[in-house]
Amino acid sequence: MSDVDPGRWIALEDRYAAHNYHPLDVVLTRGEGPWVWDLEGKRYLDCLAAYSAVNQGHNHPRIVTALIEQAKQLALTSRAFRNDRFGPLCKQLSELSGYERVLMMNSGAEAVETAIKAARKWGYEVKGVPAGAAKIVVCEGNFHGRTTTIVGFSTDEGARGGFGPFTPGFEVVRYGDLDAAQRVFSEQGEAIVAVLVEPVQGEGGVIIPPADYLPGLRTLCDEHRALLICDEIQSGLGRCGALFAHSLSGVRADGVTIGKALSGGLYPVSAFLADAAVMDVFTPGTHGSTYGGNPLACAVAEAALGVLVDEQLISRSAELGAWMRDELEALRSPHIKALRAIGLWYGIELHPEAGGARRFCEALQREGILCKETHTHTIRLAPPLVVEKADLEWALARLRAVLGG
């Protein structure tokens, strides 16, 4: 077999790796900006961007340089000692986000776990919920990560089934349904310490709630003294055309989780952001992570945030995103049931008769576009925010060819 035969690499994965993913059969070896290349040298426009971790584009030179320079200098101290990159990054994140305090973790799921722990401790110590009684309201169709606590309140049987028993204390309500949230608050408001919500459900298929949903949740949280916590791990840092998607609804969350694009795809870095009144429930010994806030992570995140701001990727997402939405709306494909769009983020939902989104993703792959189906019938498009209009025009021609119209 030749060196570029993808079958060789696919066989290795299938034989030696756990089968916990169903990837497209493309073996990538190089990336630059919004583009990636496979072993045979074929170029693809990356319209998934590693679930929005690569908003800044692949291998952004400024972030790569920060990574290399810091790796040569100092990579890990643990938080037993201080390092000279941690404080400056926390200041930068605080000033950018408007939250007083920052707690650094690694994966997105860990940031969500941090938010859950903060909300519970705040509930007991500040709100005065009786020990062990705290409730957190979450939404149907949520995706917050893969830990046992988090999958315990997933409504996706594939994510949840077979992994119990689960952590109690979560109440699931319908996403986008304010009446449902109101009911759970009127029944259990005294025990509810937080609502944990994605401002846009990414894994759920780019589901955008009604405009009054987040403001309504904000009001309910204020009335019942609960925290509004927004999971911005995928929706934040520019994807929706704002630093935080929830701010587009004119609300301010009490806590925010970020990850993915916080490192521009170079290293796993996540954070929970909140004001002191919430964050200060954590005291020495109550929470932590060996790698959380390490100098390498901080140097990478500092550069990744710098790129986001200096290259104006957030306004770029809003402007290019609106143009692309109009172009997609003009598609007259017989297969498209609904188009959902916010920033540079699209969920193209197909009619069930189209036979699932997978075959369209495979056809797009042959045309040089990489994207992934979500929830069987939806094609999700989320190109890196550095993408050029000409690249999107190129992609639109191929989408027209594959979808018709």
- How much is the CA Rg of the chain, to the nearest whole Å? 21
Least distance in angstroms from the C-beta of 374 to ligand PLP: 11
User: Judged by CB under 6 A, does residue 198 bind ligand PLP?
Assistant: yes
Residue whose pair of structure tokens reads 């519970």 in the numeric block: 120
Stretch that binds ligand PLP, among 55-63, 82-90, 101-109, 163-171 (CB under 6 A): 101-109
How far apart are the C-alpha atoms of 172 and 7, rounded to whole Å? Answer: 43
Among 233, 251, 279, 379, binds ligand PLP (CB under 6 A): 233
d(CA 327, CA 341): 11
Q: How far is the CB of 125 from ligand PLP (least distance, A)?
A: 26
Q: Is 234 a binder of ligand PLP (CB under 6 A)? A: yes
Q: How far apart are the C-alpha atoms of 401 and 367, rounded to whole Å?
A: 9
Nearer to ligand PLP, 51 or 99 (CB): 51
Interface stretch with ligand PLP, choices 103-111, 242-250, 319-327, 371-379 (CB under 6 A): 103-111
* DSSP SS3 for 29: strand
Residue 109 interacting with ligand PLP (CB under 6 A):
yes
Nearer residue to ligand PLP within complex by CB, 272 or 282:
272
Least CB distance to ligand PLP at residue 167 (A) = 16
Residue number with CB closer to ligand PLP (139 or 348):
139
Adjacent-strand bridge partners of 397: none
Q: Which H or E run includes 35?
A: strand 35-38
Question: SS3 of 402, please?
Answer: helix
Tell me: does residue 127 bind ligand PLP (CB under 6 A): no
Q: Which one, of 166, 220, 232, 174, lies nearest residue 193 by Cα?
A: 220
Residues designated catalytic? 143, 231, 260
CB 323 to ligand PLP: min, Å: 25
Query: By CB under 6 A, which span of 75-83, 142-150, 213-221, 280-288 interacts with ligand PLP?
Result: 142-150
* Cβ–Cβ under 8 Å, residues 92 and 165: no
Phi, psi dihedrals of residue 25, rounded to the nearest 5° = -80, 70
C-alpha–C-alpha distance, residues 200 and 210, integer Å: 10
- Whichever of 262 and 278 has its CB closer to ligand PLP, that residue is 262
Structure tokens at 82: 């201080």
The token duo for 369 is: 């576009």
Within 345-384, the residues that bind ligand PLP by CB under 6 A are: none
DSSP annotation of 104 reads: E
Q: Minimum distance from CB of 256 to ligand PLP (Å)?
A: 11
User: Which DSSP state fits 331?
Assistant: -
Nearer to ligand PLP, 237 or 369 (CB): 237
How do strand 345-350 and strand 378-381 relate by DSSP bridges?
antiparallel
Task: Please give the residue whose beta carbon sits closest to ligand PLP in the complex.
Answer: 108
User: Interface with ligand PLP by CB under 6 A: which range of 33-41, 78-86, 143-151, 338-346?
Assistant: 143-151
Residue 107 sits in the site that holds ligand PLP (CB under 6 A): yes
Taking CB under 6 A as the rule, does residue 143 contact ligand PLP? yes
Contact between 202 and ligand PLP (CB under 6 A)?
Answer: yes
Among 31, 108, 204, 293, binds ligand PLP (CB under 6 A): 108
Length of the chain: 405
> Angle at CA 111, nearest 5°, toward 107 and 113?
110
Return residues touching ligand PLP (CB under 6 A): 51, 107-109, 112, 143-145, 198, 202-203, 231, 233-234, 259
